[in-house]
Amino acid sequence: MTTMNERMVRVFTILSVGFMALIGMLTWWQILDAGELKQKDSNQQSAYYEQRIARGFISTSDGVRLATRVGSKGPNGDTVFTRRYPQGNLAAHVLGYDTKGNSRAGVEKAMNTELTGSDRNLGAVVGLLDGDDQVIGDNVQLTIDGAAQRVAQQQLDGFKGAIVALEPATGRVLVSASSPTFTPQEAVTDFTGIQKRESALFDRATQSGYAPGSTFKLVTTAAALANGSTPDTKFYRTTKYRGIENFGGEVAPAGTLSDALTHSYNTVFAKLGNELGAEKLRTQMERFGFFERPPLEGRPSSELRASGLSDTDGTALELDDDVDTARVAIGQERLTVTPLQMAMVAAAIGNDGKLVKPSVVERVTHANGKVAREFEVRDWKQSMTPTHARQLQRMMRGVVEEGTGSAVRLDGIQIAGKTGTADFGGRNLVWFVAFAPVDNPRVAIAVAIEDQPSGQTGGVVAAPKAREVLRRLLEGKPQ
């Protein structure tokens, strides 16, 4: 029979275990799991204490400081900091914003742990809650070229669209511009005002669902090369194919696959897509990173869209027999892409088929200048064999030298490109994608411009804008 003392011991033991468990949970929440709790937008206590952290600076690769801080005395006599954005709207969508009451976006959100120093200062952050310590966050240097970014934004002034440029061999994002735009400082002072301006916060470079038009013929060509075609594969004369016509009703004469890409004949590529079939075309798309959110370091996943097929309500679709493969092959049907995705396609082709993970973060440094983390090249996919990639490189060079992309030409620099024009809500959406120089690609670029009248094409509107950004990046010259 259990004695009173034994029952007392059991009760004491249960209470002791429960007390220790409670202590353990509190310890986990306050220290080990502090980073996750601090990220929650609804955590007002965290938001207050983060104002007392000297948030790290954010700058471009060429030293333009995009985000800084200003300190002032708080209500308790402690120092509190407010974010300042001295460069207006420069790289606004990449940079994002950090506000007291309206959360974060862009690099400010994705790199918040580093910018607040909480990844290396858990003890200091806990001390800060008691008013004991001052935490200084790490500084973040971006891969963005500030001068080229300005040129890109100038090219987009007055237009709706986006421009993305990156290094094919490394994945460094050199330019990422979206228009219309906003000023991050306004997010601090008048967030409601920004929200009232249609789509100002929407990043067309990474979130848009654009029809790629004829730029997608690069993917179709890659699939054809992977399945037995060559640049010299012959095609017969065509005027229409399953209701599909060439631009302006043009007749596609008998010629080669290379000729068809140079002059962007819809009828040839629609027939080619049908012959390849959904499975082979889908496989090639996957090799270029379609159907996945791009692994872009430095941006929140919520600001990245997977390119692929989607219904009118945004529901993702499979590329199967229920989808018109002929129209997918020419960049129409329900195919949607981002400019980032198409820049990655151009980059992979220029990089002998190797697709690397993109990044907007060059390095993270402590306040004393010591490097905490450096950029690393990270391979992602092999989109094509080197042999097929070089064949497509030569074909794209023909587009610029003899075909629809001649407006991008720069003296002394060989450029490989592809134009595109797609119907987008009854108006033309025009494209140009490219990489340069052809023999040693340093830049891949995608330009997409919305709301162009009938008759305007990627070669007329988008290619000249790509030329000015390429000029800045390759020649180092202002406009």
Phi, psi angles (nearest 5°) of residue 335: -85, 130
To the nearest 10°, report the CA torsion of 272, 275, 281, 283.
-140
CA dihedral over 33, 34, 39, 44, signed as positive or negative: positive
Q: What was the pLDDT predicted at 454?
A: 86
What's the distance, Cα to Cα, between the start and end of the chain in Å? 95
- Name which of 89-98, 113-122, 159-168 the model is least confident about: 113-122
Going across the sheet that includes 161-166, the strands are 173-179, 161-166, 443-452, 427-436, 416-424
Q: Is the pLDDT of residue 75 over 80?
A: no
At CA 440, angle to CA 434 and CA 444, rounded to 5? 25
Residues 160-166, mean pLDDT to the nearest whole number: 98
- Rounded CA separation 149/92 (Å): 10
Task: Classify domain 42-128+138-142 by CATH architecture.
Answer: Alpha-Beta Complex (3.90)
Q: How distant, in Å, are the alpha carbons of 63, 215, 395 from that of 218?
A: 36, 6, 10
Which of 438, 429, 443, 440 lies closest to 472 in space, CA to CA? 443
Instruction: Pick the more confident residue, 80 or 121.
Output: 80
Residue 194 has what pLDDT? 79
Is residue 412 helix, strand or coil? coil
Rounded CA-CA distance 399/434 in Å is 10
**Per-residue pLDDT at 446:** 98
pLDDT of 343: 98
Q: Where are the domains of the chain?
A: 42-128+138-142, 146-361+377-475
Please give the Cα distance from 437 to 434 (Å, whole number): 10
- What pLDDT does residue 310 have? 82
Of 248, 167, 346, 466, which is closest to residue 458 (Cα–Cα)?
Answer: 466
Question: Looking at residues 167-175, what average pLDDT do you find?
Answer: 98
Kindly give the residue spans of alpha helices, DSSP state H, lying in 314-425.
Answer: 325-328, 339-350, 386-402
Look at 95-109, 340-354, 368-382 and tell me which has the smallest mean pLDDT.
95-109
Q: Taking 90 as the threshold, does the pLDDT of residue 80 lie above it?
A: no
Calculate the average pLDDT of the chain. Answer: 89
Q: How confident is the model at residue 84 (pLDDT cuts 50, 70, 90)?
A: very high
The answer to whether residue 70 scores a pLDDT higher than 50 is yes
- The predicted model scores a pTM of 0.88
What is the predicted pLDDT for the residue at 129? 47
DSSP 177-188: EEES---HHHHH
Which carries the bigger pLDDT value, residue 308 or residue 44? 308
Degrees, nearest 5: CA angle 269-273-279: 160
224 CA to centre of own chain: 27
361 C-beta neighbours (distance < 10 Å), count: 24
Of the CATH numbers 3.40.710.10, 1.10.3720.10, 3.40.50.11540, 3.10.290.10, which one belongs to the domain with range 146-361+377-475? 3.40.710.10
Q: What value does the mean pLDDT take over residues 294-319?
A: 88
- The pLDDT, as a whole number, for residue 24 is 61
- Would you report the helix, strand and coil content of the chain in percent, each value rounded to 5? 40, 25, 35
> What pLDDT, in 10s, does the model give residues 7-24?
665 656 666 666 666 666
Q: pLDDT class for 51, splitting at 50, 70, 90?
A: confident
Question: Would you say the CATH fold of 146-361+377-475 matches that of 42-128+138-142?
Answer: no
Question: What is the crossing angle of helices 217-226 and 339-350, to 10°?
Answer: 40
Q: What mean pLDDT do residues 137-153 have? A: 98
> What is the percent of the chain where pLDDT is above 70?
85
What average pLDDT score do residues 211-236 get? 98
Contact of 109 with 304, CB cutoff 8 Å: no
Q: What is the pLDDT of residues 227-276, one digit of tens each?
A: 999 999 999 999 999 999 999 899 999 999 999 999 999 999 999 999 99
Supply the pLDDT for residue 127.
45
- The pLDDT tens digits of the residues spanning 357-402 come to 999 999 999 999 999 999 999 999 999 999 999 999 999 999 999 9
pLDDT score of 128: 47
Q: Which pLDDT belongs to residue 477?
A: 61
Spatial distance between the Cα atoms of 216 and 105, rounded to a whole number of angstroms? 30
Q: What is the mean pLDDT of residues 29-35?
A: 50
